[in-house]
Amino acid sequence: MSKRDDRVTLTPLGGLGEIGMNCMCLATDSSMIVVDCGLMFPDHYLLGVDVCIPRFDYILENKGKLKAIVLTHGHEDHIGALPWLLPHVDVPVYGSRFTLGLVENKLREHDLSRFIDLCQVNAGERHEFGDLAVSFFPVCHSIIEGYGLGIETPAGKLVHSGDFKIDPNPLGGHRTDLDAFRNFAGNDCVLLMSDSTNIEREGHSVTERSIVATLTEIFRQAKGRIIITLFSSHIQRMQEVFDLAQRVGRKVAVSGKSMFTNIDLARDLGYMDVPDDTYVHLDEIAGIPDDELVFMVTGSQGEPLSALTRIAKGEHRQVSIHPGDTVVMSSRFIPGNVKAITRVINNLYRQGAEVLYERVQAIHASGHAQKEELRLMLETVKPKYFVPVHGEYRHLVKHSRLARECGVAKERALVIENGNPFTLIRDDTIRFEETIPAEAIYVDGKGVGDVGQSVIRERQLLGGEGLVIVVMVIDENTWDILVGPNVMSKGFVFEQQYSHFLEDAKCIVLDIFENIPPGELDKLKERIRSSLRRFFRKVLDRDPIVLPLIMDI
């Protein structure tokens, strides 16, 4: 065995240091696979940005040895960036039947059907990709048909947990197969990479059966209509809503494109059984009594254009709040969305609804393992090395501490961030490689990567301080002013109330013009920009963007 045939290099491009944008590369001298290819929704300060995706430079530089993209499950933070990668690489995508159904819909939405090369994987199967091989183990999560991975490499066996929880008595057989993990790992697993999302939550996660019990009581006791919002990918929970509605004699109407799409997909693939006499269209609800109706809607995170947000504002075309309605928010509050969600809750109360959410009633079970379940995964796999994944930095640190409690040596419980590759070598040694660029790429409309920090800063300034536009037209031959100067405020001040300041600004522009030699247009613009910013800082303590629009004709 040559020196280069006994090692594997792991390069995290996303998901280590944030929750979202999961993407990990595993490469040998001749082969490479990518595990997951997810996106992340932007923080509030990234004005105008639609989504954030990993930087794919490393993958594209090594695409000659890329064999496959392997998906653990179908959530957006694991599949959402595929439309931006697949046009540049010619490789198949491996995943479960349902995961690939979601991928196919996504690629069709982006008009990328020509890049669809999807390979369905069943639980327990093993697939080879050059000198790498991957086995797929079923895991319980908040989406059906998720997998953990057993990866065989020249450096030994690696395990990737995927997103998982351990439910001892799951509904519908959606369980985490710890025996499969244990049998694969044996006594010689080199590395475990494990989901860190809920490391800060002690004990065990709430079971789905307990959620069904709570929802059953709500459905039995509700006097008016029930409006329930949940993640549109949570097929199992949506099936439970249909089952409960049928049991208590209610009809279910759905509002929200992603929910429609996923229900149709799940029904077509046989993952949902929805009786036709229970599922009704919104156009058919007019004659149905309030106590016989359930609305299942998007908007669990307070998204501005979602069905629930529009209902809360009284702006939904077909659904408005009636006195006595019960709104059930069967999802967790994702950090960063809390203000938007609470705003929706307050608006729903203003409309006269009663709102039930996780903080006041057990109506959501996380799909991520809590501390004792994470401990059980560590004790099952017994890895020599441990790298926590899928978490913010504090989650990674706390998960690595748990690994040390479970017997992993302190120097082998590693905290790795995006862009920090490391190489495992068969003799149980590790080598840290040179850091590579791994900052997120911003997608804004059709632009990919053309919005950076400088553009974001300008947008923040525009949002915070506003814009002042100076318009002038000058005769290039005589250097006489033909039009203007006109000074206009956009998001800076109310022009009628502060017109005297804008008039003073015009005088400043004229003074500057008188002292600039004819023909020096660039100098004139720069002097106007700096002088007006200084003036507005002095008189109003504000610093708007000043945009001189000066033309010579």
CA-nearest of 100, 55, 111, 15 to 443 is 55
Q: How much is the pLDDT for 444?
A: 75
Centroid of chain to Cα 200: 20
Among the options 163, 167, 195, 325, which is catalytic? Answer: 195
Average pLDDT, rounded, for the chain: 90
- In the residue annotation, 522 being an active-site residue is answered as no
CATH number of 208-356: 3.40.50.10710, 3.40.50.970, 3.20.20.70, 3.40.50.880? 3.40.50.10710
Q: How much is the pLDDT for 370?
A: 95
**Quick check: 441 pLDDT over 50?**
yes
> Tens digit of pLDDT for each residue in 1-57?
445 679 999 999 999 999 899 999 999 999 999 999 999 887 666 666 778 899 999
Q: How much is the pLDDT for 383?
A: 97
Band of the pLDDT at 500, cuts 50, 70, 90?
confident
- In the residue annotation, 368 being an active-site residue is answered as yes
Centroid of chain to Cα 206: 23
For 227, how many CA atoms within 13 A lie in the half-sphere containing its CB?
28
All structural domains of the chain with their residue ranges:
3-203+366-448, 208-356, 466-552
**What architecture is the 3-203+366-448 domain classified under in CATH?**
4-Layer Sandwich (3.60)
User: Going by CATH, does the domain composed of 466-552 fall within 3.40.605.10?
Assistant: no
Q: Which residue has the tokens 């349902």?
A: 98
Band of the pLDDT at 77, cuts 50, 70, 90?
very high
**Quick check: 451 pLDDT over 80?**
no
CB–CB of 374/200 below 8 Å? no
Share of the chain above pLDDT 90, in %: 64
CB–CB of 384/159 below 8 Å? no
**Quick check: 239 pLDDT over 90?**
yes
Among the options 73, 78, 364, 368, which is catalytic? Answer: 368
- Report the relative pairing of strands 441-444 and 51-53 from DSSP bridges: antiparallel
**Quick check: 496 pLDDT over 90?**
no
